[in-house]
């Protein structure tokens, strides 16, 4: 199976030709001299006459020439190396990740969609649930890693609760500080999550109050 590597000039419009000679000292190999050889094993001058060339590194001769060129001192300032097989594999992997994320997003309930929006800043006010869901699906497609990170967060429910609590002013976020009544409960969301875990009774009563039950005075 062929394995093409595309070598391109970084400034193709200004490219005329590139002459690198036939050898160089490789500082990564104790200064050993690396000699470029032709098909008969004779020293050969490397001349690149077009702004792009292709090596098939599944071929032994091409692999030797590619390796010689790739290790040439400071060559990265002049040429770029594109591994087409590796890029194709990355592209395929991203497509699979996006497909998986989209499948999860499509199956989400309206509540899950709205909770997800709380954690991402996706605007929901004045928009239909269909429009909002389309935004979530778009995020799943465009950034499946971010989507999966939020969906699989073990503290996701706590984070959603914090956002809702701030909306109804049960928790205040002022000047970079989270407060419950007059008590500072964290400078970061992670600290607030831990505070809620450590104060399960307050968390439970706040959840009950936010669900629409009769307001209860909560004491620590």
For 117-131, write each residue's pLDDT tens digit.
999 988 887 778 889
Q: Residues 112-117: what's their mean pLDDT?
A: 92
Confidence at 46, pLDDT banded by 50, 70, 90: very high
Long-range contacts of 85-88 (CB under 8 A, 24+ apart): 85/3, 85/4
pTM, to two decimals: 0.55
Q: Is 112 left (phi over 0), alpha (psi -120 to 50) or beta?
A: alpha
CB atoms within 10 A of CB 51: 18
Cα distances (Å, whole numbers) of residue 68 to 29, 45, 63, 151:
12, 12, 8, 46
């Amino acid at each position: 199976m062929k394995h093409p590597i595309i070598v391109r000039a970084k400034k193709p419009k200004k490219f005329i030709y590139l002459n690198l000679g036939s050898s160089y000292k490789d500082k990564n190999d104790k200064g050993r001299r690396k000699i470029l050889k032709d098909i008969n094993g004779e020293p050969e001058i490397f001349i690149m006459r077009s702004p792009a060339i292709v090596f098939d590194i599944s071929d032994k001769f091409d692999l030797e020439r590619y390796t010689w060129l790739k290790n040439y001192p400071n060559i990265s300032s002049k040429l770029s190396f594109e591994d087409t097989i590796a890029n194709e594999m990355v592209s395929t992997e991203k497509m699979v990740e996006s497909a998986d994320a989209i499948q999860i997003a499509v199956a989400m309930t309206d509540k899950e969609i709205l909770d997800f929006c709380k954690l991402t800043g996706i605007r929901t006010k004045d928009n239909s649930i269909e429009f909002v869901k389309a935004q979530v699906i778009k995020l799943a497609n465009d950034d499946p890693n971010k989507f999966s990170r939020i969906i699989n967060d073990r503290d996701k429910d706590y984070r959603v609760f914090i956002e809702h609590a701030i909306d109804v002013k049960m928790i205040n976020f002022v000047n970079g500080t989270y407060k419950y009544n007059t008590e500072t409960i964290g400078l970061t969301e992670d600290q607030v999550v831990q505070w809620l875990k450590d104060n399960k009774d307050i968390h439970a009563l706040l959840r009950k109050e936010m669900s629409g039950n009769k307001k209860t005075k909560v004491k620590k």
